[in-house]
Amino acid sequence: MLDNSFINYELLQSFEAKSFIHNQPFPWYNFHNLLTLEGFQQLLKDFPSLELFENHQGIERVYGQRPHDRYYLAYQTSVYRQVEHQDRGIINKKDLPASWQVFVHELETSQIYHNFVKSLFEVADFQIRYAWHVGVTNSEVSPHKDAEQKAGTHIFYFNTSDDWDTSWDGSTLVLGNKLKDIMNPDFNDFTTAIPTKFTNNHSFLFKNTPNAWHGVKPLNCPEGKYRRLFNVIFEFPRTGNFLSLPKKLLQRIYQV
């Protein structure tokens, strides 16, 4: 293990790629303790304040899926900036808690982590962007697959069994065997729904493929309880200023 790191490099180095690549219905894996125990606890303690987030309600999705209502915070730039003109929703590195500054720096610079992801996604290169999500009562991630611009995503969850009861739902579901040839299916339109674990230092890494359908059923947590996560989003390299494109085109590109 490297000194002063948040990532558990011993786990990365012992991981068998076939556990990810050959998983069904698309390549994915639900890691446990991919963050060091101390690192997870510090990031959880320092998770950005909800006051920094913008509240997404009723934002139209490209294929008519139900909106992904949630609180959203982007790192440095936001693909939603043309949708939500607020003074919240974007944070720069200097404004992050110290632990998150170090973690983001590690994600940006760790060749071990980058090479690990490249080998699993079977890509030569990628660009990374970051976003924090907070779900509240009735928040839902309707079934969807990500836009082709994304190579894949690593979702780090920041709840524990002390602050979240799994009976409130909140698990990211790996969906397979879609019954209808539509782009806005419901959960009951899949015969496979594999729940992933998300409390107590779990993370979910998946490769974006034509079959990578996933979602989260509406949360039934009490008011004042929050489902917290941090998205590390790997995108294929692009050129030009994508964030200057029209809103509708941005939504189609990103499908976030």
Average the pLDDT over 104-114 and give the result.
Answer: 97
> Model's pTM, two decimal places?
0.90
What's the pLDDT at 128?
97
Question: Which sign, positive or negative, has the C-alpha torsion 240, 246, 128, 65?
Answer: negative
Instruction: Tell how strand 70-75 and strand 90-91 pair up.
Output: parallel
Confidence of residue 252 (pLDDT cuts 50, 70, 90): very low
Q: Which CATH class is domain 9-254?
A: mainly beta
Residue among 196, 182, 231 nearest 63 (CA): 182
- The secondary element (H helix, E strand) that includes residue 105 is helix 98-109
Q: Which 3 state secondary structure label does DSSP give 60?
A: coil
Measure CA 7 to chain center.
17
AA identity, residue 136: V
More confident residue, 56 or 116: 116
**165, 231 contact by CB (below 8 A):** no
Alpha-carbon torsion, ordered 95, 97, 100, 101, to 10 deg: 50
Report the alpha-carbon distance of residue 37 to residue 7 in Å, rounded: 10
Q: 150-175, pLDDT tens digit by residue?
A: 999 999 999 999 999 999 999 999 99
CB atoms within 10 A of CB 70: 23
Q: 123-137, pLDDT tens digit by residue?
A: 999 999 999 999 999
Confidence of residue 115 (pLDDT cuts 50, 70, 90): very high
CA-only gyration radius of the chain, Å: 17
> What tokens were used for 25?
């219905």
Each residue of 146-157: b (16+ CB within 10 Å) or e?
Answer: beebbbbbbbbb
Instruction: Give the rounded percent of residues in the chain with a pLDDT score beyond 90.
Output: 80
